[in-house]
Amino acid sequence: MTVRGAISNPWGRPRLLRLVTLAYIVWSMVPVLIAVQFSFNAGRSRSTWQGFSLRWYLTDAASVARDESLTLALAQSIRLAVLTMLIATPIGVAMAIGLARWRGPGARPAGFLMLVPLVTPEIVMGVALFLVFANLYDFVRFGTPAQLLGHVTFSISFVVIIVRGRLFAIGRDYEEAAMDLGASPREAIRRVLLPLLSPAIMASFAIVFAISIDDFVISQFLAGGADSITIPVRLYAGARLAPPPSLNALASILLLATLCSVSAAGLVLRRYSNRERDGRGALDSLTRLDV
């Protein structure tokens, strides 16, 4: 133990580094935890603790359950995230399989096109989609339809990145064996490849849900009326106006939804990567660390 300790830790005990790291984690977490705490405040203040209560979630006239602007924001965020997940995941899975196996002259530019949305600043994509819906696709209404198209556009590439990591790991042997044994390509994909990909597909559903419900810029640029305001857009609109703790309650609900879906994705990915003794793949695809 001492030898191992000395090798992995040749500088002696890194007390200072440990302290800096702890301070960083406290700095990054504590403001958020305080914001969550005050969503349960019995009083109206967001800085003086007056006892525990659920009034900002359920009973107060300004609570998430009773203030219509907050309820609508919650509903719109969930609706968009679920629809985006259902549309982007199948398109992205098919695209990942296609791009991973296609060896024609168009394969390289197609792969490149898939990556560009990942590196485009959101404000640029927001302006572009806003202008195209305002001037060219004017049959698409601002609000849910435009927001949905926008969310799917930035989600597809995430699905491709997650699924193709798994595809590269599987290799081509299984589907080729299936076809040697007489399966058509369609059967090989449906009965061999898709079951092997199922953890990555499940993870994609969860990650797309999380990035869609988390999105602010695209949702704001493509919003229509009051019924298309999402939770992040509502937080943005209300943060500076000395809002009651119900805004904190709304933010806490968003936090819970995101953390649940990301943990689900993490668990699924970890289960299969542990089996393959490769923990990094899962972390990389979760955090876009493919560089």
Partner 1 sequence: MPSNLQSAETQAVGLHRWVWPALAAPGLTWLLLLFIVPFYAVLAVAMGDLDPIFLKPVPEWNPLRWDVSAFGDVLSDLFGGQLGTIALRTLAYVVSACAVCVVVGYPVAYFVARKVVRHKGLWLLGLLAPFWINYLMRMLAWVNLLGSDGLVNKIITSLGGAPVDWLSGRHSTVILGLAYGYIPFFVLPLYAALDRIDPAVMEAARDLGASPGQAFRRVTLPLSKQGVLAGLVLIMLPMFGDYYTPNLLSGSPRTRMIGNQIDQFINQTSSQGGRGAALTLILMVLVAVFMLYYLFNIARVTEEARE
Instruction: Compute the distance between CA of residue 115 and CA of residue 12 in angstroms, rounded to an integer.
Output: 43
Verify binding: residue 139, partner 1, rule CB under 8 A.
Answer: no
Q: How many residues make contact with partner 1 (CB under 8 A)? A: 106
* Shortest distance (Å) from residue 262 CB to partner 1: 5
* Tokens 């705490």 found at: 37
Verify binding: residue 277, partner 1, rule CB under 8 A.
Answer: no
Verify binding: residue 290, partner 1, rule CB under 8 A.
Answer: yes
Beta-carbon contacts of 270 under 8 Å, excluding residues fewer than 6 positions away, are 279, 282
- Please report, as residue ranges, which positions from 150 to 189 form the binding site for partner 1 (by CB under 8 A): 150, 152-153, 156, 160, 164-165, 168, 179, 184-186, 189
Among 62, 196, 255, 264, binds partner 1 (CB under 8 A): 255
Verify binding: residue 256, partner 1, rule CB under 8 A.
Answer: no
* Shortest distance (Å) from residue 165 CB to partner 1: 8
Among 53, 82, 122, 170, binds partner 1 (CB under 8 A): 122
Return phi, psi of residue 216, to 5°.
Answer: -115, -50
Nearer to partner 1, 95 or 268 (CB): 95
Nearer to partner 1, 4 or 275 (CB): 4
| Sign of the dihedral through C-alpha 43, 46, 47, 49 | positive
Among 262, 268, 269, 282, binds partner 1 (CB under 8 A): 262
* Shortest distance (Å) from residue 291 CB to partner 1: 4
* Shortest distance (Å) from residue 124 CB to partner 1: 6
Nearer to partner 1, 186 or 275 (CB): 186
Verify binding: residue 268, partner 1, rule CB under 8 A.
Answer: no
- Please report, as residue ranges, which positions from 217 to 246 form the binding site for partner 1 (by CB under 8 A): 217, 220-221, 231-232, 235-236, 239-240, 242
Q: Which two tokens stand for residue 172?
A: 């081509």
Verify binding: residue 45, partner 1, rule CB under 8 A.
Answer: yes
- Please report, as residue ranges, which positions from 61 to 80 form the binding site for partner 1 (by CB under 8 A): none
| Sign of the dihedral through C-alpha 32, 37, 41, 47 | negative
- Please report, as residue ranges, which positions from 24 to 43 form the binding site for partner 1 (by CB under 8 A): 24-25, 27-29, 31-32, 34-35, 38
Do 161 and 200 touch, CB atoms closer than 8 A? no
Nearer to partner 1, 85 or 254 (CB): 254
Nearer to partner 1, 45 or 198 (CB): 45
Q: Write the binding mask 78 to 117 for partner 1: x where contact by CB under 8 A, - elsewhere.
A: -------------xx-xx-xxxxxxxx-xx--xxxxxxxx
Among 197, 247, 269, 282, binds partner 1 (CB under 8 A): 247
